[in-house]
Amino acid sequence: MAASAGTAAAPRRVRARPPGAWIVRARAWDVSLRLDAPALTVGTAMAALAAAALVLSLTMGDFPVEPREVVRALTGGTADPMVNHIVVQMRLPRALTAAGVGAALAMSGMLLQRLAHNPLVSPDVIGINAGAAAAATAAIAVLGGTALQVAGFALGGAVATAVLLYLLAYQRGVSGNRLVLLGIGVSAVLGSVTSYMITRADIDTAQRATVWLTGSLANRDWAHVATIAAALAVLTPLALGLSRQLRLLQLGDDLAVALGGRVRLARGGLLLTAAGFSALATAVAGPVAFVALAAPQIVRRLLAERAVGILPAAGCGAVLVLLSDALARTGFGGGELPVGVVTGILGAPYLLYLLARSNRTRG
């Protein structure tokens, strides 16, 4: 029906949609989801690589298993009870824990780097993991805590450290450089506290704390799989839901407020979500270094900054930890190394590369 003369037509709302993006809406729940073609492509590739790394990890060990036997064991098609026991009962819980820990650390790093606009920000660089480690060491050395208590203390220590960093760094917004410098200082203090508690503990307790602090996936069982799976199930929808606010925050606080963004609430929610990912991953496996730093950087370069890339980063983190754990188990003769040692050896040069690249960019 045509509008009558003299009546102003209502303005039509036009929503801009970036090229290569689709908006999926569920009107019944008033929920919409934006799908970016580059992120979908990279995410699919990372998921395929993670699945391949999982199968490869299950083939490796003192009793090598053919990939087709692994697939049969996973699908219930093998008739060999020994292969089924080795693959499903002995190796699969560890591999699934590795994948979950890698995914959680990578999503934590992606959120923090996007939030602070700084590629050097990650939970192990700015002290969130150090807070979890100090609290977990207190649970081990002072209280003689159980595995569940250690996990709870690690979660509390990481969240408390994240809140402290946010309060210290906030000054009309959060500067990435200020967050890094404060985080390095807080990490050094918490590291000293952790070392002091270890030196005051008896030899058995100190050994237990040291093994935990190295970051290891040895002896992980289905309880650890359930813990990290529950963490991912709760926190991943939160991270995806807050990603829209993350895009607004990248425009600057003033413009984000002008566009209707709730800056302080969004920033606090993103920081706590990132801390939750890191804390629960650390509670399950100990502090596994550099995954939260490297995985988001790899994905951001693949996407060329065209999408936030939370889920592709999760896939990349899973690949890194699965391959690092397989190398730690089988790549050093008869002995097994903690996975945190391998990620540290591989990640430290990458951090030096980022620092050198950052200096060249500023120069």
Instruction: State the Cα–Cα distance between residues 69 and 79, nearest whole angstrom.
Output: 10
Instruction: State the Cα–Cα distance between residues 336 and 94, nearest whole angstrom.
Output: 14
Q: Which tens digit of pLDDT belongs to each residue from 249-265?
A: 777 666 776 766 677 77
Q: List the structure tokens of 75.
A: 């699908």
Q: Which tens digit of pLDDT belongs to each residue from 87-121?
A: 998 999 999 999 999 999 999 999 988 887 777 78
Residue 80: what pLDDT?
79
Give backbone dihedrals phi and psi of 79, rounded to 5 degrees, phi first: -105, 0
Report yes or no: 63 and 90 within 8 Å, Cβ to Cβ. no
Angle at 29 between CA 28 and CA 34, to 5 degrees: 105
Report yes or no: 155 and 163 within 8 Å, Cβ to Cβ. no
Q: Which tens digit of pLDDT belongs to each residue from 162-185?
A: 888 888 877 766 666 777 788 888
H-run or E-run covering 46: helix 37-59
Query: Which conformational region is residue 231 in: left (phi greater than 0), alpha (psi within -120 to 50 degrees), or beta?
Result: alpha
pTM of the model: 0.83
Residues in contact with 266: Cβ distance below 8 Å, sequence separation at least 6, in sequence order: 242, 245, 246, 248, 249
Return mean pLDDT, the chain: 82
Q: How confident is the model at residue 24 (pLDDT cuts 50, 70, 90)?
A: low
User: Across-strand partners of 34?
Assistant: 23
User: Across-strand partners of 22?
Assistant: 35
Residue 7: what pLDDT?
42
Instruction: State the Cα–Cα distance between residues 27 and 259, nearest whole angstrom.
Output: 23
Q: Is the pLDDT of residue 363 over 70?
A: no
Q: How confident is the model at residue 212 (pLDDT cuts 50, 70, 90)?
A: confident
Residue 192: what pLDDT?
92
| Domains observed in the chain | 38-355 (1.10.3470.10)
Report yes or no: 61 and 91 within 8 Å, Cβ to Cβ. yes
**How big, in percent rounded to 5, are the helix, strand and coil portions of the chain?**
70, 5, 25
Residues in contact with 271: Cβ distance below 8 Å, sequence separation at least 6, in sequence order: 111, 112, 115, 162, 163, 166
What string of DSSP letters covers 126-142?
TTHHHHHHHHHHHHHHT
Q: How confident is the model at residue 232 (pLDDT cuts 50, 70, 90)?
A: very high
Taken in order 178, 182, 185, 190, is the CA torsion positive or negative?
negative
Q: Is the pLDDT of residue 351 over 80?
A: no
Query: Which conformational region is residue 238 in: left (phi greater than 0), alpha (psi within -120 to 50 degrees), or beta?
Result: alpha
Residue 91: what pLDDT?
93
Among residues 95, 334, 339, the alpha carbon closest in space to that of 220 is found at: 95
